[in-house]
Amino acid sequence: MRESYFKNSRELLKRVDEFSNFKLKRRDDLQIIFTEGVKEENNRLFEDLVFTAKYVQGLMKVMKMGQENSEVKSLEHVKIDLAKNMEKVLNQIREILSGSSQSDKNYIEDTFLQMNPDAFKNLNELLSDLDWTKKYLNDLKRS
């Protein structure tokens, strides 16, 4: 992630949004994470976060398919992996935001990181947007 456009979080958001065909659901919230993620000291953590988000999204798809398909037998391992990686993604978000304003940290904590149905829905939308971010970064590496 050494490309110059990563120094501009707004440009990154614009490019990811275009890449997703404008399917992002939490643009303003993603901007908060991008603002911190593009800082040189956070690049590695940001790459890890988008990877984990994409992985969690994949695990959630497996869980959904497994619940719809009675032939899938080993969902217990998927559940354990999902729980572990959900905790990991929450910690990664907190770590990336450790240098941001207290109001941004409080907002993200209240909106995404609480244990309630609204926060879980919001977090799933944010993870979907981070999944799009990972797909965009992967596409850049290939081209």
**pTM of this prediction?**
0.90
Q: Are 92 and 49 in contact (CB under 8 A)?
A: yes
Which helix (H) or strand (E) element contains residue 63? helix 43-68
Tens-place pLDDT, residues 65-93: 877 776 666 788 889 999 999 999 999 99
Tens-place pLDDT, residues 6-35: 668 999 999 999 999 999 999 999 999 999
Helices and strands: H and E segment counts in the chain: 6, 0
Question: Residue 4 above 60 pLDDT?
Answer: no
